[in-house]
Amino acid sequence: MATTFRASEHQHIRYNPLQDEWVLVSAHRMKRPWQGQVEPPLLTTVPRHDPHNPLCPGATRANGEVNPHYEGTFLFDNDFPALQPDAPSPGPSDHPLFQAEAARGVCKVMCFHPWSDVTLPLMSVPEIRAVVDAWASVTEELGAQYPWVQIFENKGAMMGCSNPHPHCQVWASSFLPDVAQREERSQRAYQSQHGEPLLMEYGRQELLRKDRLVLTSEHWLVLVPFWAVWPFQTLLLPRRHVRRLPELTPAERDGAPIGSEAGANWDHWQLHAHYYPPLLRSATVRKFMVGYEMLAQAQRDLTPEQAAERLRALPEVHYRLGQKDRETAAIA
């Protein structure tokens, strides 16, 4: 007797048309008991200003430079950059199996706010708007010199970020990185075949299907992609065709959720942001990319539809604000 397929019960593979790869979905594994690593609770108290924190206003950084007493965003050159503008070329290769090419660029750090005890979700809309405007400005500036500008934030100790001060990084490179190459190639091929941007059609389809939507607004969509690899991975999309951050209107900038932005000048490209939370089951159970995922293919347990349902059910009040409310009630 044939068994009816149910995505929430039966393993299957899903295709990612944006990055041209597949992911194994094994939702039945959510039934297994967890005996793996449990992360320590999040640090709940962060000093608003620490003179020894190199990202704080007025602090001295490792290279001896002193930060200004900034009151908004603060952009500066990374003191230990992965890319430098004047690196020499490795020269021609003597064998096709040993190829190396020049890699030049710049790396910057952007502080979002002068206080260390806030994050983007806890900032006011005008403060967040200032961050988006600064992103657009640095994208315009570096994009005039380099073919790729990547804005990203490694947030929290679980992601290897040891400094709690709200900040991100901006890397501009003389080459197109691997993921950007795959996304550009896929979007170009889709536009050539179907006559419209891949992510525009994908956003329309998700609006119709609804089961992976997390948030919608007049200008933006937040959803768990059909092909998501990380359990609570989300994708941010504008609801109109926008290629790069500088093209966002004032209203779109005011309402923009924040993520790791990817934008480019090509007409087939759609501005989008990826969120990759490292969580597996809860705030203290982490997802590790090991074993099969390192050697063969990405794999996830929770289905994207189940993840989106959980995210939709979360309160809109930030957990830290909710915690303060509970503490106040307990004291009263």
* N- to C-terminal Cα separation, the chain: 62
Residue 75 CB contacts under 8 Å (≥ 6 apart), including other chains: 108, 109, 110, 111, 134, 138, 170
CA distance 187 to 262: 13
CA distance 156 to 163: 8
Residue 202 marked ligand-binding: no
Other Cβ atoms within 10 Å of 86 Cβ, number: 5
Give the helix ranges, DSSP H, for 111-247.
125-143, 178-194, 198-209
Residue 120 dihedral angles phi and psi, to the nearest 5°: -55, -45
167 given a catalytic annotation: yes
Cβ atoms of 212 and 222 within 8 Å: the answer is no
Residue 243 CB contacts under 8 Å (≥ 6 apart), including other chains: 263, 264, 265, 266, 267, 269, 270, 271
Residue 186 marked ligand-binding: no
Residue 289 CB contacts under 8 Å (≥ 6 apart), including other chains: 298
Cβ atoms of 151 and 261 within 8 Å: the answer is yes
Residue 155 marked ligand-binding: no
Residue 79 marked ligand-binding: yes
Residue tagged active-site, from 113, 165, 167, 274 = 167
CA distance 25 to 303: 7
Residue 30 marked ligand-binding: yes
Residue 111 marked ligand-binding: no
Other Cβ atoms within 10 Å of 307 Cβ, number: 22
Residue 265 marked ligand-binding: no
User: What three-state secondary structure class fits 179?
Assistant: helix
Residue 9 marked ligand-binding: no
Residue 299 marked ligand-binding: yes
Residue 32 marked ligand-binding: yes
Residue 56 marked ligand-binding: no
> What residues are annotated to the active site?
167
Binding residues for UDP-alpha-D-glucose: 29-32, 62, 78-79, 154, 160-162, 169, 287-288, 292-293, 299
Residue ranges of the binding site: 29-32, 62, 78-79, 154, 160-162, 169, 287-288, 292-293, 299
